[in-house]
């Protein structure tokens, strides 16, 4: 029986519900908390995290569950809990504040504000003793030096607003050589031996490596392409990849991808499915195919809702211990695998003392298949059979363990990324399972999250909440476009156009020629960010730029293409100084500089021709099928009864080809 229950007991967010029995008098974000703060003239604590966050759990256990610490918080502050995945708009603002204050960010994010929400002080994780010192000193500061506190908060708020000051869009796109210099200079930070960038912790950064692969392929830069493949190889061999059940963890804590931070997020795995699928198209490497299928196995087993949509995350912890679900003692392996254990342990770097903490082993590969053959005297086929058999045995045994906590909310933007992941996998491998997954999820997301007037961000159970942000619109429009591309069903393109027009009404800032993160019709916080920086998830604006370009070609709308160009011209002015924040933008800029191809296949061979093109790695192109009358301007006038292949670049189409080989030679 829990001793306490607070207001969060009525929340739908799994993260907020984790805190529902804290002795802290938590509020959800809303008028009630701010009214109390103003009425009692108290500072507000905005504490932000997410359900799979390990250090959020640690701080809760050390401080928020303790009566003495909670008493301090309740006496001097109005305490608000925020799920960053439900309310990224709030998270963005207070993350900016903490980064300006401390030079770094992360979660848990704890920001103290004035009663009106303007930030005053903050940080990330605080040990209990330090947390209590901060609580006392801030309460004293606000009580005795209020004018100083008000001025400091005003200055900090102005600093946050200045982060959104941007140059005008009336400049030309940079030269191809200039962009090449930026990408090559940035690529010098790649770790050529172990993959990723030359620092730790190491995060998979799908958009960055997709950019490097696109650029290397188009410029025939074999060295850079090798660096991309090294990253993909080392990640797939590392502990960051769940060798038994598939799927990638959030990041590796070391330089070698060995020790993961064990939480698993939908958005990482969705984008990595796209990246490995494209890498397979580019290289033909069967390992990348296997990784994509194992990502699917993880999504299907652990993050798939019964209705065909996708849950958000798996916790890093189970039974209060990080990684417990995933690690093994060699003694366990001997009992489970019998005579196959020595081969399995050799493959996955297992030893009797453990390769990690407390005698536990993280499964990761340090030997190639050739080395394994030499060491065991077995051929590749025999080894693969043994390893596959062992993995099946261990997966079955692991399923009997206490599973990590599941965050079962459905997020529109993250589901959209997963739809694109399945679409990319279908184009790479031609497996209709991926097609069916993408189509089913697209149909459900449209039905569940769009009410005909606006899109919603969150679904938990049968309850749909939180009006969608620009990120949700941008990524769902992209998912609809990709579903159209793989099916040829024009309804999806029309849905994409409908949402794009709605997004223009709700988010487009005509003064800055970019999209605001929060709808102009919804609650406005102390600032409404423009969301320009590509992080692990690309920025809403860079995705909108790509969408506008594709929609412009589909619907013969030159103005949309010009808008996309204007948006890129704004972003490019920051690319040289901050390339790691503009990887998706640079992909779009490469599309523009190299020319964007549209391939239209018609007639009885249209399906075969479309599949042949879609299996090829040709970034900056879309391959469409027309097997009936079309209302889309790009397809409308094209003959559909004969087997023809039209190749268009930007807004100009050449004469149709009748031979697949000749059409392919044009790329």
SS (H, E, C) 317-339: EECCEECCCCCECHHHHHHHHHH
Residue 411 has pLDDT above 80, yes or no: yes
* For residues 259-279, average pLDDT: 97
Instruction: Determine whether 284 is exposed, middle or buried from the number of CB atoms within 10 Å of its CB (0-12, 13-18, 19+).
Output: exposed
pLDDT tens digits, 446-472: 999 999 999 999 999 889 999 999 999
SS3 content of the chain, % helix, strand, coil (to 5): 55, 15, 35
pLDDT at residue number 134: 96
Residue 262 has pLDDT above 90, yes or no: yes
Residue 76 has pLDDT above 70, yes or no: yes
DSSP reduced 3-state for 632 = coil
pLDDT tens digits, 92-110: 999 999 999 998 889 999 9
- Report the distance separating Cα 476 and Cα 486, nearest Å: 15
pLDDT at residue number 241: 98
pLDDT at residue number 641: 84
Say how far residue 436 (Cα) sits from the centre of its chain: 22
Give the number of other Cβ atoms within 10 Å of residue 377's Cβ.
Answer: 7
In percent, the amount of the chain with pLDDT more than 90 equals 89
pLDDT at residue number 433: 98
Pairing outcome for strands 260-261 and 251-252 = antiparallel
CA quadruple 164, 165, 169, 173: dihedral positive or negative? Answer: negative
- Report the distance separating Cα 203 and Cα 580, nearest Å: 12
CB 421 within 8 A of CB 433: no
Q: What is the pTM of this model?
A: 0.95
Residue 130 has pLDDT above 60, yes or no: yes
Residue 170 has pLDDT above 70, yes or no: no
In eight-state DSSP terms, residue 201 is S
pLDDT tens digits, 370-386: 999 999 999 999 999 99
78 versus 168: which is more confidently predicted?
78
Instruction: Determine whether 431 is exposed, middle or buried from the number of CB atoms within 10 Å of its CB (0-12, 13-18, 19+).
Output: middle
**What values do phi and psi take at 26, rounded to 5?**
-70, 145
pLDDT at residue number 443: 98
Token output for 225: 């392409």
- Report the distance separating Cα 1 and Cα 30, nearest Å: 29
pLDDT tens digits, 465-514: 999 999 999 999 999 999 999 999 999 999 999 999 999 999 999 999 99
All structural domains of the chain: 7-162 (3.40.30.10), 176-319+407-594 (1.50.10.10), 326-400 (1.10.10), 597-664 (no CATH)
Q: Residue 211's pLDDT band (boundaries 50, 70, 90)?
A: very high
């Amino acid at each position: 029986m829990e001793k306490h229950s607070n207001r969060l007991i009525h929340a739908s967010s799994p993260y907020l519900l984790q805190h529902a029995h804290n002795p802290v008098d938590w509020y959800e974000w809303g008028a009630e908390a701010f009214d109390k703060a103003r009425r009692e003239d108290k500072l507000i604590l905005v504490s932000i995290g997410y359900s799979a966050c390990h250090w959020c759990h640690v701080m809760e256990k050390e401080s928020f569950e303790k009566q003495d610490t909670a008493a301090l918080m309740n006496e001097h502050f109005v305490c608000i809990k925020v799920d960053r995945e439900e309310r990224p708009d709030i998270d963005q603002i207070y993350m900016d504040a903490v980064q300006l204050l401390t030079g770094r960010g992360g979660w848990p994010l704890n920001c103290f504000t004035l009663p009106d929400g303007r930030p005053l002080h903050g940080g990330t994780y605080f040990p209990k003793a330090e947390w209590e010192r901060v609580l006392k000193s801030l309460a004293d500061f606000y009580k005795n030096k209020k004018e100083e506190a008000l001025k400091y908060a005003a200055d900090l708020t102005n600093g946050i607003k200045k982060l959104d000051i941007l140059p005008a869009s009336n400049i030309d796109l940079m030269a191809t050589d200039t962009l090449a210099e930026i990408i090559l200079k940035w690529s010098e930070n790649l770790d050529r031996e172990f993959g990723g960038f030359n620092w730790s912790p190491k995060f998979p950064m799908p958009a960055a490596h997709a950019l490097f692969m696109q650029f290397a392929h188009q410029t025939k830069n074999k060295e850079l392409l090798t660096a991309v493949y090294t990253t993909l190889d080392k990640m797939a061999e590392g502990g960051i990849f769940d060798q038994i059940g598939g799927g990638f963890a959030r990041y590796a804590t070391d330089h070698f991808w060995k020790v993961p931070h064990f939480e698993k997020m939908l958005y990482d795995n969705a984008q990595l499915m796209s990246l490995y699928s494209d890498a397979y198209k580019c290289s033909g490497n069967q390992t990348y195919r296997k990784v994509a299928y194992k990502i699917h196995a993880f999504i299907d087993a652990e993050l798939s809702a019964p209705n065909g949509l996708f849950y958000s995350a798996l916790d890093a912890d189970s039974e209060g211990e990080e990684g417990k679900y995933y690690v093994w003692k060699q003694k366990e392996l001997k009992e489970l695998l019998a005579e196959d254990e020595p081969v399995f342990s050799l493959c996955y770097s297992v030893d009797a003392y453990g390769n990690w903490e407390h005698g536990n082993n993280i499964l990761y590969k340090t030997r190639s298949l050739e080395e394994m053959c030499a060491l065991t005297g077995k051929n590749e086929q025999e080894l693969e059979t043994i390893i596959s058999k062992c993995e099946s045995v261990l997966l079955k045994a692991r399923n009997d363990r206490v599973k990590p906590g599941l965050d079962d909310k459905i997020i529109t933007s993250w589901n959209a990324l997963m739809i694109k992941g399945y679409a990319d996998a279908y184009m790479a491998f031609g497996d209709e399972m991926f097609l069916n997954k993408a189509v089913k999820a697209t149909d459900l997301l449209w039905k569940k999250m769009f009410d005909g007037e606006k899109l919603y961000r969150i679904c938990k159970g049968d309850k749909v909440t939180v009006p969608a942000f620009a990120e949700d619109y941008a990524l769902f429009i992209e998912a609809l476009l990709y579903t159209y591309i793989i099916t040829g069903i024009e309804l999806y393109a029309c849905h994409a156009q409908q949402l794009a027009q709605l997004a223009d009404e709700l988010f487009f800032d005509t003064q800055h020629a970019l999209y605001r993160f929060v709808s102009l019709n919804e609650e406005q916080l102390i600032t409404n960010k423009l969301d320009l920086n590509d992080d692990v998830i690309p920025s809403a604006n860079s995705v909108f730029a790509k969408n506008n370009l594709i929609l412009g070609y589909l619907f013969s709308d030159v103005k949309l293409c010009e808008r996309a160009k204007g948006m890129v011209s704004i972003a490019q002015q920051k690319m040289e100084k901050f390339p790691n924040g503009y990887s998706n933008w640079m992909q779009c800029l490469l599309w523009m500089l190299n020319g964007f191809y549209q391939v239209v296949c018609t007639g009885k061979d249209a399906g075969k021709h479309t599949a042949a093109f879609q299996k090829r790695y040709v970034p900056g192109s879309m391959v469409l099928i027309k097997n009936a009358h079309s209302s889309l301007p790009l397809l409308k006038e094209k003959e559909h009864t004969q087997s023809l292949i039209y190749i268009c670049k930007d807004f100009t189409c050449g004469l149709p080809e009748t031979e697949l080989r000749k059409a392919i030679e044009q790329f």
